[in-house]
Structure 1
Amino acid sequence: MGPAPPAAARGRPSAGVESLRRCIRACAERGVKVLTVFAFSSENWNRPEDEVSGLMELMGKALTREVPELKKSGIRLYFVGDRQSLSERMRQGLTQAEGQTADNARMVLNVCFNYGGRWDIAQAAARLAARGEPITEAALGRAMALAHVPDPDLLIRTGGEQRISNFLLWQCAYSELYFSDRLWPDFDEAALDEAMAAFAERERRFGKTSEQVAQQATG
């Protein structure tokens, strides 16, 4: 599930963190096994310098404050994105946070940080080329930054935007898309339930006909 656009884009970074905390808890309670959120895109470097610095500071504080609670709640944390342009201190912080939750199995939380869907496809292709492997659909899938989890069933976009903004371009080929007018800091449990209810009403065919899906369901 995802994405969650950067809260600073709406001028409410602390409220965005609280919304994320609320969403993580609600997803875990509802039996969601994988939650993927968009914390900082590769395009966000183009924002004003003070805003970027604020986001980096917010991430540092969140690591210190939130990781112990994630560990306690059984949630495994992954940071997904290009770490090369991050500071050494930030890279170490991300790695340490992942290590602290490595034994958890209740839910996987992917935080896409300095991530872009096009970057992901390009890095996967470059990885295969460096190893001399044929670039096939299956091989690219295994080389993606999110290869450790299944492709998302549902993608939620908040804030009234009608686009996915370079998020999970490869992985969302067959995801159901849900667009909410609520700003991310205002996206609460009720909004999550609305999205999940809308998803439950949809027929997922994956290229098949409705009749084939019905036959497969009845077995």
Structure 2
Amino acid sequence: MSQDTQNILSVPKHVAIIMDGNRRWAKEKGLPSLEGHRRGADNFEKLAERAKELGILCFTGWAFSTENWKRSKEEVKYLFSLIGGLAERYKKKCQEKKTKFIHLGRKDRIPEETRKTLEDVEESTKGFNDFTVAIGVDYGGHDELLRVMKKMKEDKEEITQENIEKNLDTASLPQIDLIIRTGGEKRLSGFMSWQCAYAELYFTDTYFPDFGVKQLEEAVKNFSQRERRFGGN
């Protein structure tokens, strides 16, 4: 364990990151926007590895929102190719490092090849519990809640907090402690609408491809210095 890790007093169990700024990063460097997404995907892998080293139990990234379908067909196709490639690479890595992989979001609209890859990695890593990597693909917080309500209506379940939470995409994951958003925007854009209630928020102007392990450590250190009251005094 590094000295930097030892200096972090209280490590969040679950960190979720809104990976914003890939396209602006590419534009400022005179590169195609697709290159920004590629760099972002590579960066997510590095951050997930560091998160595990820091003692974080679950690391979640928002890769494709329910609103991202509005982007060009070329960009959408490339994003799903990147997501499928990331999941495929993760399959071997997750098995070697006993990491569980989970897809959050809708299953019905994702291209079949990408969906099958995500399902395959989920199935092959479902027995691991030490560390979890979750990827939000075709995920939106409002869409998630609508899906939950429809399912509960079909199953004739009573609407209670407990029943809602057990039907969320994140039902098997620890409560989110820290949400990070890169790229300068100071809003959640519908990310984890239910789960964000008591999450600490950390906003940074740094574009996601430049948000490295040192920046992650700084965000976690900032979290450790906050007093969390959960509605109490």
> Would you say same fold, with TM above 0.5?
yes
CA–CA separation in structure 2 for the residues paired with 1:110 and 1:7: 20
Residue 203 of structure 1: aligned partner:
227
8 Å CA contact 1:7, 1:15 repeated in 2: no
Residue 133 of structure 2: aligned partner:
109
Residue 164 of structure 1: aligned partner:
188
CA–CA separation in structure 2 for the residues paired with 1:17 and 1:67: 15
Residue 143 of structure 2: aligned partner:
119
8 Å CA contact 2:20, 2:181 repeated in 1: no
CA–CA separation in structure 1 for the residues paired with 2:96 and 2:130: 11
Deviation track 1:25-75 (CA, whole Å, cap 9, x = no partner) reads: 100101100111101001000011111011011122223323211221221
Taking only aligned residues, the RMSD between alpha carbons, in angstroms, comes to 1.4
CA–CA separation in structure 2 for the residues paired with 1:161 and 1:53: 25
Deviation track 1:114-133 (CA, whole Å, cap 9, x = no partner) reads: 00000111111111110111
Instruction: Normalising by structure 2, report the TM-score.
Output: 0.85
Does 1:5 pair with 2:29?
no
Instruction: Normalising by structure 1, report the TM-score.
Output: 0.91
* Identity fraction in percent: 32
Kindly tell me: are residues 111 and 7 of structure 1, through their superposed partners in 2, closer, same or farther at Cα, counting changes over 3 Å?
A: farther
Q: CA deviation at 1:7?
A: 6.4
CA–CA separation in structure 2 for the residues paired with 1:162 and 1:8: 16
Aligned residues: 209
Correspondent of 1:99 among 111, 123, 126? 123
Residue 207 of structure 2: aligned partner:
183
Correspondent of 2:51 among 27, 43, 48? 27
**Tell me, which stretches of 5 or more residues in structure 1 are unaligned?**
210-219
Kindly tell me: are residues 53 and 8 of structure 1, through their superposed partners in 2, closer, same or farther at Cα, counting changes over 3 Å?
A: farther
Letter of the aligned partner of 1:3 in structure 2?
Answer: I
**Tell me, which stretches of 5 or more residues in structure 2 are unaligned?**
1-14, 25-32
8 Å CA contact 2:99, 2:130 repeated in 1: yes
CA–CA separation in structure 2 for the residues paired with 1:154 and 1:64: 27
CA–CA separation in structure 1 for the residues paired with 2:113 and 2:151: 25
- Match of 2:151, SS state, is helix
CA–CA separation in structure 2 for the residues paired with 1:29 and 1:105: 15
Residue 70 of structure 1: aligned partner:
94
Letter of the aligned partner of 2:192 in structure 1?
Answer: L
Residue 16 of structure 1: aligned partner:
40
Kindly tell me: are residues 137 and 103 of structure 1, through their superposed partners in 2, closer, same or farther at Cα, counting changes over 3 Å?
A: closer
Letter of the aligned partner of 1:35 in structure 2?
Answer: F
